[in-house]
Amino acid sequence: MSQLIVYPNSGFSNRLKCLISASLLDSEYQVYWPPENFCGLSYSDIFQDRFRETDQIPGDSAVLNTWRFELPIDLLGYLPSGFSDCSTGYKGIDFPGDSQAKTIDFEFLKIPPPILAILRKQFAQIRFSKTIMDRVNARIQEMPDSYVGVHARTWFDEPERKQKWFDFDDFIQVCSRFQDKELFVTSDDPQFIESLLRTLNKKLVTSEKILQRPSKPWHENSPEEMLDDIVELLVLSKASHLVLTAMSTYSEVAWFLGGCTEEVYFADPDFRHKGCLIDQTCNNNKFNLSCNAGKTDMNDSMYGQEFYNSQVFGSLKSAQVYLYHLFSIWGVPESVVDIGCGRGAWLATCRDFGVKRVVGVDGDWNSQEAMIDSSIKFYPANLEKKLPLTGRFDLAISLEVAEHLQPESSDAFVESLSNLSDVVLFGAAFTGQPGVNHINTKPHSFWADLFFDRGYALFDLFRPTFWNDDRVEPCYRQNTFLYVKPGHNLYHVLVNQGVACSQKAPFIDCVHPAIYLGLLNEFTKLLQSSVTTTQDGSLQDKCSSAGAGATFPAKLDSIESLVEKGAMQVKLNMLDVAADTLRLALSKNPDNPESLLRLSHVLLRMKRYEESYHHARHFLGIVADVSFGYYLAGHAAREIGRWQESRSYLLRAVALDPAHVYARVLCCMSSFTVCMNQAETDAMICAYAEELDGLINNTALDSADRINNAVEGIGALTPFFLPYLGCNVKDLQVKYGSWICTVMAAKYPQLSRHLSQRSSGDRIKIGIVSNYFHNHSNWKIPIRGWLEQLDRRLFSIHCFHTGEISDMTTESARSLADSFLESSDTEALAVAIHEQDLDVLIYPGLGMDAATLKLAALRLAPVQCTSWGHPVTTGMPTVDYFISSDLMEPADGERHYSEKLVPLPNLSIWYDPGELCACGVPELEIPGLETHDVMFLCCQNLLKYLPKYDFVFPAIAGSVENARFVFISNHISELTEKFVRRLELAFKSQGMNFADYVLLVPQLDGAGFSALNARADIFLDSIEWSGCNTIFESLPFSKPIVTMPGAFMRGRHGYAILRMMGVEETIAASTEEYIAIAVRLANERIWRDEISAKMSVRKHRVYQDRQCIAGLEKFLMAVSGRNPDWFPSGSHVAR
């Protein structure tokens, strides 16, 4: 693949768009930026990522030189048909192009949300030079807390464009509404600023230097003037409100740099195609893009969060296509209501297109917090009864809802819709269409007749255009119609545009091929199974049982028949259909034990844990002492965060059936929680050891079924939290690891034999197996460095992704690897790895997930290694080496491993800080934290804080005025509550009030975590399990780190990082010294700043370490049995 070279030669905002496009197309792009083409400024004068700069363009390079956003093919798929055709409309005169092209330039909030989210992320990753950011921050300090940013592109030097796109009166009209706010004004023409000042008769915030500058094209600027313009752009982007020129890339880029979240107003007479033409009140100019995803707890409904989560992505894509099509014909309505709104995907898309009022109605299992856009007003209601809404809406939506309601409520439901609007976008599942609780599937003509009875005409607006459009879900392509009353203006618009209308319902009862073929396939499988398993009943009876939502003959309509049918569907892996069948059985008898048990199990397999938990508990309330029922309740409870309750159920399950391997593994591995004291910690270790013995002793491997059960049981859970307890776990890990290897060898004896080393003379073949080839700490440390830095003349790298998460990082890994296989099928992966004939196989983080443990228990390569993604020995005889860090290992480190220890130089990792930067991080508001408080950041998993060190916190607080310890809550609320109770006791024992000193923040995303580090004064490393990735992510902020090395490698990350940096003043040798260092840093600001400054100038030492890569290459060469003389003289190893 040729190298992508960015060669921009236009203005700065256009150049930024070119760089963003390059980042979407090729993450390894380089930039050719001659200073003479940009006012004497080089790329490195402006940006931090200097490594991208090149002084030449190789002949085979692909060159990107564009002012547009260039999107990769996968993103272009999100654009609706006809979206911004660049050869027509307002772009035609000025920007002619390919008639088939689609562009998103100047589309602002019309850009589909998936594309907008990715662009927003790419802009957020731009890192400007320290010189520029210092100037920006200095300007921000002078600004009020809240200000309105105004940018006017006047095109003073282009009369034709100025006449078309600029109107001074429009700016006056918009800016006049902000009389109570400060206006920060930028423009290509200083005369505009002076005119605005005189007309508004109020003080404007602007730069004197820019006001004194004569009007001239950008390319005539001096270097200093161009830097001034860039600073102005960044200050503009940080405004709370923006008044922009819609056709200006400077305005466009300011909006993206600000995160696309400001209130945006456009002063542009030709912006009407976006529905934003300025009127007397300016209300039509306003957009607000706020979208906060929420969560809901739906314990008692089949429509749980998993159900809605499974629908939302397809709904969003479909809504973007259909609503764009409708609104481009009709215009954007003022108000929309969605009956059966789910997570609010269609309403959120309405908001994106400019609808001002959006209202969602759904069952009481749904909630306001579950809406994906916080501006949606949600009302719970029984949809089968009269709705609690008054007033009318411009548009009512109800899609794929009516089939879930009782048949007798159909007429009342359509009546409710007709009471809400004269325009109804409606669709419901066709007869026999499978789905969750489809109890009221009907022909389309059935619903059409109900609307006709109420005076509506039917427009088949979507099916002819989008019938074969894969961006739209098949159910919407098949079932969606528009009903409009003839007196409505939309009726006349549609008729005038030639859209056929009908007040009858001929030819609408058709099924989409995608749905028909799926039904036919399921019907065929079920019919074949019915013929072989059911001896009585006619063929008609068997046919009737095939389709979900169909009417069943009495013979097959009994509970027993439905349960039998559900079991048959499970065997065919038709889990959704089986769940519907079993729900139908429960509707006949809600207390039927077999229906409850089978449905709970099916839902567990479908990962619908809330509903599974509900049915399992219901079962246990009817039938006592059934092991499988307790297992189902325990497994589901664990998945929904009820750890303590889960443990109780699982203990009972194991007591009733000691041979249930999956339950035993879950029970054994779920022993760990936050301990209240050291005695509880010791007891927990003993309990785990006893349960592990019980697991091993009760796992029989004397038949194929028992072996399969044991293999499946391994996958239940791993002892991930065992080393968090602070002890030497080698013996326990050896016992556990040996058991796994025994089980897997029984299942796959052919994959458990020793393998000989390869003797071929080609490159050494390295395999990497991980569950974390995505944006995860294991990818950052160490996988990425290996893939990027190992000498590919010497080594070929073959990656095997066992995880279910794929993102842009996954694609990056795929592009770096010689081969990349992604699969969750353990057996298929094992065979593929074995057939790859590798020299060395590396598992970077064994113990974090079960899939890689199963593979590592086999012998798939002559040499098998693990590393410290999970820094504890595996105890597995099939793992030969543990790749570790020389600086992190204690003197007796080898005693802690069953593998042979390989301590690579320094930290053992190549870490590239990449996009990590302290610049432009937003402030994080932490309730209870005041400006004068000294914030100690304690950001590790709460399970890493051992109770024997709780005394450290009150000891520090007792010597530091205004000390505040900020922890991050665990996503399992009961763990957080237990940790809080423990710290409350620690502070109370010293006569102190916990609430005066300790604050907890919720789980944070990457930006939030950066903001947390930016606010912190001191980083307190956890004792005996040190932070590593968290420390690296804190380094951009150069906050002093207090650490104390532990007895094991996992407790020495911070110690090693500080030693390599040469900042050892904050490394403690005891808890007393740990406390003293923390107190001194808090009380002596000068010393704290000195340490921070020292970290700032030395932290580069831990980045991009070549010594560890050379050490790894030397190790891989040695264990693969290759002669060093064989390697090219220019390689790292030879050097």
What is the distance between the alpha carbons of residues 912 and 52, in angstroms, rounded to a whole number?
14
Q: What is the pLDDT of residue 1074?
A: 98
CATH architecture of 934-1103: 3-Layer(aba) Sandwich (3.40)
Residue spans per domain, the chain: 4-108, 121-288, 305-349+358-511, 524-640, 658-718, 746-904, 934-1103
**Beta partners for residue 936, in sequence order:** 965, 1018
Q: Which DSSP string do the residues of 728-744 spell out, in sequence order?
A: --HHHHHHHHHHHHHHH
Q: What is the pLDDT of residue 296?
A: 30
CATH class of the domain comprising 524-640? mainly alpha
| Tokens at 577, concatenated | 């259909």
The residue behind tokens 């859209």 is 499
Q: Would 121-288 and 934-1103 be classified into the same CATH topology?
A: yes
Buried b (16+ CB within 10 A) or exposed e, 533-565: ebeeeeeebbebbbbbbeebeeebeebebbbbb
Q: Which segments in the chain show pLDDT lower than 70?
A: 1-2, 74, 77-78, 80-102, 114, 261-262, 268-313, 503-507, 512-557, 760-761, 915-918, 1123-1135
Q: What is the pLDDT of residue 80?
A: 65
The fold of the 121-288 domain, in CATH, is Rossmann fold (3.40.50)
CATH, range 305-349+358-511: 3.40.50.150
Phi, psi of 1100, deg, nearest 5 = -60, -20
Q: What is the pLDDT of residue 84?
A: 55
Q: How far is CA 330 from CA 80, 275, 334, 815, in A?
A: 16, 11, 12, 45
Q: Is the pTM of this model over 0.85?
A: no
What is the distance between the alpha carbons of residues 515 and 903, in angstroms, rounded to a whole number?
57
Helices (H), 149-291: 159-165, 168-175, 190-200, 208-211, 223-237, 249-257
Q: Which residues contact 895 (CB under 8 A, 6 or more apart)?
A: 730
Nearest partner of 67 among 9, 150, 120, 116, judged by Cα: 9
Q: What is the pLDDT of residue 533?
A: 44
CATH, range 746-904: 3.40.50.11380
The strand ranges marked E within 463-604 are 480-484, 501-502
* Cβ–Cβ under 8 Å, residues 287 and 244: no
Give the dihedral of Cα atoms 870, 873, 875, 878; nearest 10 deg.
Answer: 80
Q: SS3 string of 413-482?
A: HHHHHHHHCCEEEEECCCCCCCCCCCCCCCCHHHHHHHHHCCCCEEECCCHHHHCCCCCCCHHHHHHEEE
Q: Which DSSP string do the residues of 164-193 spell out, in sequence order?
A: HH--HHHHHHHHGGGTTSEEEEEES-HHHH
Collapsing DSSP to helix, strand or coil, 581 comes out as helix
What is the distance between the alpha carbons of residues 713 and 664, in angstroms, rounded to a whole number?
8
Buried b (16+ CB within 10 A) or exposed e, 750-784: ebbeebeebeeeebbbbbbbbbbbbebebbbbbbb
Q: Residue 64: which H helix or E strand, with range?
A: strand 62-64
C-alpha triplet 206, 211, 216: angle, nearest 5°: 125
Q: At what angle do helices 489-496 and 305-330 cross, to 10 degrees?
A: 70
Q: What is the pLDDT of residue 552?
A: 36
Q: What is the pLDDT of residue 286?
A: 33
What is the distance between the alpha carbons of residues 818 and 823, in angstroms, rounded to a whole number?
17
Collapsing DSSP to helix, strand or coil, 867 comes out as strand
Q: Residue 897: is it exposed, middle or buried by C-beta count within 10 angstroms (0-12/13-18/19+)?
A: buried
Q: How far is CA 1124 from CA 47, 900, 1114, in A?
A: 41, 22, 8
Q: What is the pLDDT of residue 11?
A: 87
What is the distance between the alpha carbons of residues 600 and 620, in angstroms, rounded to a whole number?
11
| Tokens at 934, concatenated | 């000294």
